[in-house]
Chain A
Amino acid sequence: MMDIEVTNVAKRYGTSLAVSDVSFGVEQGHVLSLLGPSGCGKTTVMRMIAGLIAPSAGSIAIKGKPVTQIPVHKRNVGMLFQNYALFPHLDVAHNIAFGLEMRKVPKAEALKKAEAVLAMVRLEAFGARYPHQLSGGQQQRVALARALVIEPSVLLLDEPFGALDKKLRENMQLEMRQLQQRLGITTLMVTHDQDEALTLSDRIAVMRAGVIEQFGTPTEIYERPVSRFVASFIGTSNFFTGRVTAKVNGGYTVECPDGVRLGFNGTPPAEASVTVALRPEGIQVSPDAGGDPAPNRMRTTVEQIVYRGLSTHYYLRRPTGEPLVVVRQNDSGADVFAGLQPGSAVLASWAAERNLIVRDDA
């Protein structure tokens, strides 16, 4: 069952289209991330689901009930704002009790429930504090408690971790995910942070310029990007453009203008000219032993080496001058990578299944 259903929704501001014809669903208990660069329309979509702005076209349903015509205060959504949006004039307990009071819950009972929810986010002793007396992480927990205490149909998170520093952000992400899974609450999250989307989501919708570019599981999005935009926005990719040439037994070859050949398994695509994405972690590097140019091999020179702790990034240069990025985990002992220096001539090679044909929309 779909807890959130968005059908052909569009939002127009004057003559510009912020969101055009977006449709997707969020399954019960799932976390869906709307991922995209700023200005792609992801926040607009979320605010339309919350009811804070009205769509120009299309319809929205929450838990199977059409809500397009229902005002925000009757939609029963829990929303977490980027800056938490706690009420500065109310203490923590009254912040949390606010939504219950609006539902005509008697004040004493509302405050008692607020206590219980505060325990859930591990802030039992903080009921009498005011928001400005709390740290960023504590404020976020209060905001989460305030959104959850009304037992919302769905939870909406608007860039929820953007204001926290890296360490705290990672802790809060894990905590949020655990809580979400324990409560089984259907969640929609807006983010521009690909790591956040990959960490927290069951499904990701990558948005660009008001449309959904790709919808899928985190694995699908990362391993099977459909377009050049997705391949470069989530993770990094090397790109090749070439023409489909030789059709060999059980596969085919794409030949680039500089002579590099990319070997594929399976049936060739219908187009004659294609764009190929190649993830940097799929490339091996070995000493340049010369020899015949084979498919999925390329002679390069090392341009720059950047040590990043967990991994090392090698910026190679192809004979044509185009860059080729290789990423390697720093997990094994001394090997061929150890002796590499800027200027070294190396041979880059990769397996055929690493070549991904993507739509070129750059």
Chain B
Amino acid sequence: MILIKRVIFIVMMASVCAFLWLAQEQQNLDQGTTGAPAHAQAGHQAPDFSAETFSAEPFDLTDQLGQKGTVLYFWTSWCPYCQASSEAMEEAHQTFSDEVNIVGVNATMHDRQSEAESFISQNELTFKNILDEDGIISRNYYAPPVPATIFIDQHGMITYRKTGAISYPELESEIRSLVKEEE
């Protein structure tokens, strides 16, 4: 029993020492790198993409960043959760359009463009909406499931991700966090 206790204690101490050393190495690495790799989760750089809006204007995520944060909202026309969230998204756009960009991404590969266009007009969405015809953006951001809402700060870092319907208070809270960070 004493031997087992000693072995456990030695392994514990060795692990702590190894991780303290690794933390030091990490600090040196962080000083020499440009940031976290791109991945669609909080704490990582948002994967970059280019696409076209429904009105055939070119869209590039990088162009949106720099001055203010961006909220990416993945949706499809057949999804009732997206229907439930769209009103809140439009309200947030009306309230915070000076502070953040709200960009809808239609997962067109899982939808029909004509129905997506009807969805936009029925829900009176005035924020920018883009088409993801080949599904690359959706795949990189792990959507569907939809709706998926991704909050990106002005430096391109994802601060929060919500899968499922999002209410206005939640949108407001996360947008205010983004704006606070920018200040």
A, B from the same assembly = no
